[in-house]
């Protein structure tokens, strides 16, 4: 009997993940079966169950991996362009990146057509709350305050709440009809709103590299946590 190498197992699991993501975006969680995923991935019908106990486990990993990819990619961008680390630019970049990945977008806008019963899964809720905008913003705001890029005349907790409300509105606007002028540049309006609300009256002119390094490290920390948490639940 031939024993499959670690690389072969990893490759086979990656095929299943890719096929499942493609199918759920087109058909929604309810319309996808594990056998259909196996067929699309060109693997045996029972192969997905070698790695995931249930369909829910498989798709929760896809969501977590997608979010981890978003955070890691943005960390790379911030290191390459330190000016991106300030509040108004980073929040816009985060929001656009979240909406750019179909399953992360579905989680943020609570799209039942795509995620179906997964929206009611406590693990999906945990991903959204522990590694989504509110959690990350609460870690970022002290960094911005320390580096003098946002105002400090109101509390970090209030700033986090205000930012969260703005982002909730931004995500909600993706599924609603709004004024034509705003609809053309929603991200631009979001950035201007954050700047007007948070920017210090005299922003520090210091080098942005130290801030960018800390912001990037924080984003990568969240990405690793997501990856590690999912790895614990997958069979190998």
- Rounded to whole angstroms, the maximal C-alpha distance in the chain is 71
Report the CATH number at residue 33: 1.10.10.60
Number of domains in the chain: 2
Do 119 and 155 share a domain, yes or no? yes
Do 71 and 39 share a domain, yes or no? no
For the cut 80, the answer to whether the pLDDT of residue 175 exceeds it is no
33 assigned to some structural domain: yes
pLDDT digits (tens, 9 = 90+) for 200-221: 777 666 678 999 999 999 999 9
61 assigned to some structural domain: no
Do 103 and 206 share a domain, yes or no? yes
The answer to whether the beta carbons of residues 21 and 30 sit under 8 Å apart is no
| Token pair in block for residue 71 | 């955070």
The band of 22, judged by pLDDT with boundaries at 50, 70 and 90, is very high
Do 127 and 209 share a domain, yes or no? yes
pLDDT digits (tens, 9 = 90+) for 83-130: 999 999 999 999 989 888 888 889 888 889 899 989 999 999 888 888
- Integer Cα distance of 79 and 211 in angstroms: 10
Domain of 84, in residue numbers: 66-231
The band of 181, judged by pLDDT with boundaries at 50, 70 and 90, is low
| CB atoms near residue 217 (< 10 Å) | 13
Do 120 and 179 share a domain, yes or no? yes
| CB atoms near residue 151 (< 10 Å) | 16
Q: What is the pLDDT of residue 89?
A: 94
Domain boundary residue, one of 51, 75, 91: 51
The band of 9, judged by pLDDT with boundaries at 50, 70 and 90, is low
- Integer Cα distance of 42 and 35 in angstroms: 10
- Integer Cα distance of 131 and 221 in angstroms: 10
Do 91 and 205 share a domain, yes or no? yes
The band of 44, judged by pLDDT with boundaries at 50, 70 and 90, is very high
With a pLDDT cut of 90, the percent of the chain lying above it is 58
């Amino acid at each position: 009997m031939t024993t499959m190498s670690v690389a072969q197992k990893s490759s086979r699991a990656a095929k299943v993940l890719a096929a499942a993501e493609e199918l759920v975006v087109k058909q929604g969680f309810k319309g996808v079966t594990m056998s259909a995923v196996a067929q699309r991935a060109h693997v045996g019908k029972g192969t997905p169950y070698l790695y995931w106990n249930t369909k829910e486990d498989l798709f929760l990993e896809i969501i977590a991996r997608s979010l981890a990819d978003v955070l890691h990619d943005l960390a790379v961008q911030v290191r390459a362009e330190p000016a991106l680390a300030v509040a108004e630019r980073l929040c816009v970049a985060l929001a656009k990146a979240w909406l750019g990945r179909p399953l992360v977008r579905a989680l943020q806008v609570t799209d039942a057509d795509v995620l179906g019963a997964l929206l009611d899964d406590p693990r999906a809720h945990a991903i959204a709350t522990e590694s989504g905008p509110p959690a990350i913003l609460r870690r970022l705001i002290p960094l911005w305050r320390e580096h003098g890029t946002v105002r400090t005349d109101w509390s970090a907790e209030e700033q986090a709440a205000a930012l969260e409300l703005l982002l909730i509105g931004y995500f909600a606007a993706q599924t609603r009809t709004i004024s034509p002028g705003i609809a053309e540049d929603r991200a631009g309006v979001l950035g201007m709103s954050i700047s007007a609300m948070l920017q210090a009256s005299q922003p520090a002119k210091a080098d942005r590299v130290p801030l960018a390094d800390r912001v990037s490290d924080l984003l990568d920390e969240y990405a690793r946590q997501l990856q590690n948490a999912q790895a614990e639940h997958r069979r190998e």
